[in-house]
Amino acid sequence: MSRSEEGTANPDHRLDIQIDGLALAQGPGGATHQSAGEDQTALTTQQGTPVADNQNTLSIGVRGPSLLEDFHFREKLFHFDHERIPERVVHARGYGAHGHFENYTSLQDLTCADLFQRPGEKTPVFVRFSTVAGNKGSFDLARDVRGFAVKFYTQTGNWDLVGNNIPVFFIQDAIKFPDLIHAAKVAPDRGFPQAQTAHDNFWDFVSLMPEAMHMVMWAMSDRAIPRSFRFMEGFGVHTFKLVNAKNEAQFVKFHWKPLQGLQSVMWNEAMKINGADPDFHRRDLWNAIQSGQFPEWELGVQVFDEAFVDRFPFDVLDATKLIPEEEVPVRPIGKMVLNRCVDNFFAETEQVAFCTQNIVAGIDFTNDPLLQGRNFSYLDTQLKRLGSPNFTHLPINAPKCPVHLFQQDGHMAMRNPTGRVNYEPNSWDADVGPRESPRQGFRHHNAPEGGDKMRVRPERFADHYSQARQFYCSQTPVEQGHMRDALVFELSKVNTLAIRRRVVAHLRVIDAALAEGVAEGLGIDELPPPAEPARQPIRDLKASPALSILNNGPSSFAGRKVAILVSDGVSADQLGWLRKAVNDEGAEVVVVAPTVGGVHDSNGERVAADEKVNGGPSVLYDAVAVLLSASGAKTLAQEATARDFVSDAFAHCKFIAYAPDAMPLFRAVGLVEAMDAGCIALEDESSADDFIQQCRALRFWVREPKVKQI
């Protein structure tokens, strides 16, 4: 910091100074001002009036009372007092990005939706990822469902595909949604727990709602703790219709498949990530886009007809059910690329308003009762949050195609009808206002409906266990172990024994071994009787490999991060070999050092650090390398965070490259004898390549049983 030796007095009693090259002024009492130069933009009020002083309220005298006539102060505080809007009741913590969707081919045989007619056409999109249960200030790695909402700005209006990273839901009918969310959220008397379902209220509710058991299996799987937004699938959840120009309809389910591959984290790892970086998913998406590693997903469709609906053992209108991909393959129809971060988080990510009712011609609803309820609910929500029926005037919500209507006025209306005509029909000339268009207009698919008024669900909705069992049986043994551990952890936080026993009773219907493992983990000596199914489950459904994360991992390590722990004297050759191997794979190197200032390598060259060791724990990375000099290893062996760096990486089954000189650090955490084939000595250039090739498996899962015994 530098300061001019002498300030220059001026009529405003300010002292001109220079701090870090910035032109500032200091007024009475030491208030510091940054003044606009000749070529700089002047600060103004919301009315456009230039502001002379943004540091001091207008007052009578130096120590007198403030004046109400200070319109700049009044406006500034008024806006600040009202700059927060109600957060979403669910999906409050979200993160968004812009991009485009590109068609692979024309789908005119399936749908007349304009965005699917022309191969290669790009449609702008905005995507918002989110957690469900936590508030805006909660952490990213909660065990939770993730929202996956996409707004397509098509040439014929906005289409909102509002889905999740899990293809099923807890409930079948929207009338139960308030109960579900009340049970999952913080208890009303104590205001906790936040962003978690490990409490009595949630498990009490789902244990009394057998229809939730399928979703419970998904929520207790690794799907609920994704490594990144970039590495998770998305689903439209509901069954929709595709309607072509001949008014022929087929049923459809929408799927987003990440081209980066699927990946999740371990639960112990998730808890530590939340402590090290509660913005982990936000930062990951921001950094990926800013560095040019644009995330990509393929949009796929499962298309099926009435004949399939009739023979499928479950009702396709039941949102707690899915259609296995082995029965109806997912057909890729296009690719979405996210390539631009938001310019303003509030204006875009916070104010974006998704509504399931927003569809375009060629796409239509089914009678899924959960979808029907969502269509009603979302519009109400936007009025409450955004304060006006004119939320579609906000740029992030506004269609990018022409809009012509007679709706007018309301809070913050940014466009209104011009001229005398604000109604329809009218007898004025056609050029003074729009008219309905039977040829171009949206038409709902003409399907006959009839029946008595009743509060009842279809009989096939009553099978609550078959697909829950199918999902569990479709997981690898490693994933099944994680599900068992997740259930034990969550239910261990439930204080009421009757609730824990009720859940185990449901698990006995799903899988006997799972129920026994959970009961053992909870210390339940005598198993409760199995729950009585409303409809006997189908026990012989085939496993669906598509439901497993580990069976659908990536073929490369691209887009992942390798943390290299270094010290002074690190081998320049080893560091060079590893950097090249990582970069050639399309992954990223993060250098972690004892100080953020970096180290000097064996050639005396400065190696810049990205993180200090206590600020860059191994839980934040996909694989690690420990490249230390002999003296550096001895020093870091005395550093607790360096020991955690190695022990956590090993415990979380990550691949570890190491320099032979680094052994004192491994010895300090008692891992020398435990080191396995997932620990690769970096001895030459080929060993660096071997390390990255092994990293393509993401985790060395055969280590996990041994880790639990250490």
pLDDT digits (tens, 9 = 90+) for 98-148: 999 999 999 999 999 999 999 999 999 999 999 999 999 999 999 999 999
482 catalytic residue (yes or no): no
Type of residue numbered 252: V
pLDDT value at residue 549: 98
b/e sequence 38-57, b meaning 16+ C-beta within 10 Å: eeeeeeeeeeeeeeebeeee
DSSP assignments along 54-88, one per residue: SSS--BSSSSSPBPTT-HHHHHHHHHHHT---PPP
For residue 41, the 8-state DSSP code is: P
Q: For the segment 527-549, what is each residue's pLDDT rounded down to a tens digit?
A: 999 999 999 999 999 999 999 99
Instruction: Name the stretches of the chain with pLDDT < 70.
Output: 1-38, 430-432, 710
Task: List the catalytic residue out of 33, 72, 91, 506.
Answer: 91
Rounded-to-integer distance, Cα 287 and Cα 423, Å: 49
Tell which residue, 578, 550, 576, has the closest CA to residue 562: 578
The model's pTM is 0.92
CA torsion angle 217 198 700 689 (round to 10):
110
Domains of the chain: 1-37 (no CATH), 94-393 (2.40.180.10), 466-550 (1.20.1370.20), 558-709 (3.40.50.880)
pLDDT at site 454 = 84
Q: What integer pLDDT is reported at residue 426 of this predicted model?
A: 85
Nearest alpha carbon to residue 650 among 680, 627, 628, 630: 680
Instruction: Exactly one of 72, 98, 100, 164 is catalytic; name it.
Output: 164
Residue whose pair of structure tokens reads 């139960």 in the numeric block: 176
164 is catalytic: yes
Contact predicate 626/659, CB 8 Å: yes
